[in-house]
Amino acid sequence: MERTDVDQRTYIMIKPDAVARGLVGRIVQRFEDTGLHFERLEYSVVTAEQAAANYMEHVGKPFYAGLIDYITSGPVVKMVLVGPDAVAVCRKLMGATNPRDAAPGTIRGDFGLIMDANVVHGSDSPESAEREIRIFF
């Protein structure tokens, strides 16, 4: 599918907890159902360098080391999705960052267990998306 001028790219990562729980197919299906299309999709392990680059704004915070350990602890599924308002569409589909606050019917509301393992990451702006795509692809 060709990109148009109104299309936007976003970065999505299915995190290690969701991969370990066998949720990849169900989560990918939810993104497909939005009508957005995949530009890239890859199964891999996040390197320490990628994790450090992605979470650099959290350096020095008490949770930083645990965040790096978690995101590099196992395989993830990295995706670039493209379509109109892709960032907003995906953020709405994912639900609130804390699964306890996420509405039923959202990915985190249906599959998330705790804040520290909240199933999926998605870019919060088109600028963040482009930065994250450069880091992970």
| Catalytic site positions | 121
Whole-angstrom distance, CA of residue 101 vs CA of residue 136: 28
Residues 123, 8 contacting (CB under 8 angstroms): no
Residue 83's region, left for phi above 0, alpha for psi from -120 to 50, else beta, is left
Two tokens, residue 102: 């996420």
**What residue ranges in the chain does DSSP mark as E strands?**
7-14, 37-45, 75-84, 120-122
Q: What strands lie across the sheet with 37-45, from one edge to the other?
A: 37-45, 75-84, 7-14, 120-122
